[in-house]
Structure 1
């Protein structure tokens, strides 16, 4: 092809064609999102997989958790606070590297 046969990329017709294509893509995207929202009725009905049974309640007396007897169980191996746990995790990671 000769250079004169190629359309000028900055001509009004080419700019309108590109802009028109962009508008078409945006319209199709909005229409697809609208259809998706319209036909997903199962998520909005109360008979779906989850529904509210009751509201949250504040107990009048706090529940105190007792540690397992004899220091056994899952809580026995964990430090009582996050900084202690983090310090122990960093130390163990440093020991694991050769």
Structure 2
């Protein structure tokens, strides 16, 4: 596996009345597209107790991350996902990865 070089960190809140479980399903529906870019290494979506969501995606390069973000808006499966996000309270940034620890093998030895 290629080691990621950049992290994409997006924080946001859902629009009032949106179901978090429904949002998680809409987010999961984006995964085939993200994988099809060939540049996504990993993806994590989380929400804290105050309703602040964080999506953390590792990419092979910042250019690949930005290209995927631009292409995403043309994808039909992005509609339900983006419609539930409160765009007025969203922040996206990219950061160079200084340390990457891949998952350990937890198989019995």
TM-score under structure 1 length normalisation: 0.20
Q: Which has the higher helix share?
A: 1
* Structure with greater contact order relative to length (CA < 8 Å, sep ≥ 6): 2
